[in-house]
Structure 1
């Protein structure tokens, strides 16, 4: 159920690329700026999703691991830090993105990436700056994303009509 719920949310996100493989993800991200990323199905049948991100050293593919109730990035034996766990893949992605301009952080540590990619002897900080969209997002999706991205209005959600609250929660 956790995976199906997240699959639905990813499909609505606009940056879930489905069943493309690592080679296709590398080619897709090759001409993009560093920090551009996408989520795709994992080619490893032990995992559901992979996060592909363009870095200064090329495209890196990170498995999104899943236990019974959470998602988290693969852990690297060279890293002593534990990785945070999330009930939603989109929350995981959001955690590793920098805070939006003008957003109130209010004790939020989001955007302080403590995750490093170890590749070919290099230690590369994970930077998720811009999702690579598969297509144009719907106006509904863009509105929901904008409203949900403003932390200062979240306290006023209780004042909204019930159908509107449900609409915003669906994201």
Structure 2
């Protein structure tokens, strides 16, 4: 296992997460994985950073079930939390982070192994509709509801997870909308773009 410098084990450099999170990284690769995930979340438009559970509830309680956001976890053992509005109210699900990837906590009665992803956005896309096959609107919402999946929230309560639409901090720029659209059509189109645009596309490879 590769070594990790002290600065890597205690903070994400240049991130609002730095003074609040002390979860050690298992390797430099794990550190880099979290860094990359954080950079993409900053581009997403639905990453709210260091807000707490009560603030997330205030934002989501006015929204339809299935609306969600990503924020920094209030628990120092985790980096990110998925807050989602359900028919039972706002629920918070901790996003676990290990060298093997990001994952959510499974229902204790479900013995199936939960899938892991090298990026938080890929995790979200999976639960929105099983990956890139999902039909998404311009706003990043899924056109059809997926089958109900039960996971455990931060209080250990079995929660029906349905992710339909991200809550945006502000309207997406035209450039970002076009980037998401190109990501939906596949990377073949991207190779024909000028280098500056290809670099822009690399910063965000999701369709939500």
Give the TM-score normalised by structure 2: 0.69
Where do residues 110-125 of structure 1 align in structure 2 (5 Å cutoff)? 115-118=149-152, 124-125=159-160
The residue that corresponds to 2:142 in the other structure is none
Query: Residues 103 and 114 of structure 2 are in contact (CA less than 8 Å); yes or no, is this contact kept in structure 1?
Result: yes
What displacement does 1:159 show?
3.8
CA-based RMSD: 2.5
The residue that corresponds to 2:42 in the other structure is 11
Where do residues 45-56 of structure 1 align in structure 2 (5 Å cutoff)? 45-56=76-87
| Match of residue 139, structure 1, among 174, 189, 201 | 174
90-99 or 30-39, which deviates more = 90-99
Task: Give, in whole Å, the separation in 2 of the partners of 1:150 and 1:34.
Answer: 28
Q: Say whether residues 1:148 and 2:179 are aligned partners.
A: no
Count of matched residue pairs: 161
What displacement does 1:164 show?
3.1
| Match of residue 165, structure 2, among 120, 130, 154 | 130
What displacement does 1:122 show?
7.7
Secondary structure of residue in 1 paired with 2:188: helix
What displacement does 1:163 show?
3.4
CA distance 1:82–1:58, shift in 2 (3 Å) = same
Consecutive unaligned residues in structure 1, runs of 5 or more: 103-110
Task: Give, in whole Å, the separation in 2 of the partners of 1:137 and 1:121.
Answer: 34
Give the TM-score normalised by structure 1: 0.82
The residue that corresponds to 1:105 in the other structure is none
| Match of residue 135, structure 2, among 74, 93, 100 | 100
CA distance 1:114–1:83, shift in 2 (3 Å) = farther
Secondary structure of residue in 1 paired with 2:113: coil
Q: Say whether residues 1:85 and 2:116 are aligned partners.
A: yes
Q: Say whether residues 1:164 and 2:197 are aligned partners.
A: yes
What displacement does 1:96 show?
0.8
Task: Give, in whole Å, the separation in 2 of the partners of 1:90 and 1:70.
Answer: 12
Which string of whole-angstrom CA distances, capped at 9 and with x for unpartnered residues, describes residues 72-117 of structure 1? 1123322222111111000100111131159xxxxxxxx8557313
What displacement does 1:158 show?
3.6
What displacement does 1:55 show?
0.5
Task: Give, in whole Å, the separation in 1 of the partners of 2:43 and 2:157.
Answer: 34
Which string of whole-angstrom CA distances, capped at 9 and with x for unpartnered residues, describes residues 98-155 of structure 1? 31159xxxxxxxx85573135799854311100000112222222111111224xx33
The residue that corresponds to 2:97 in the other structure is 66
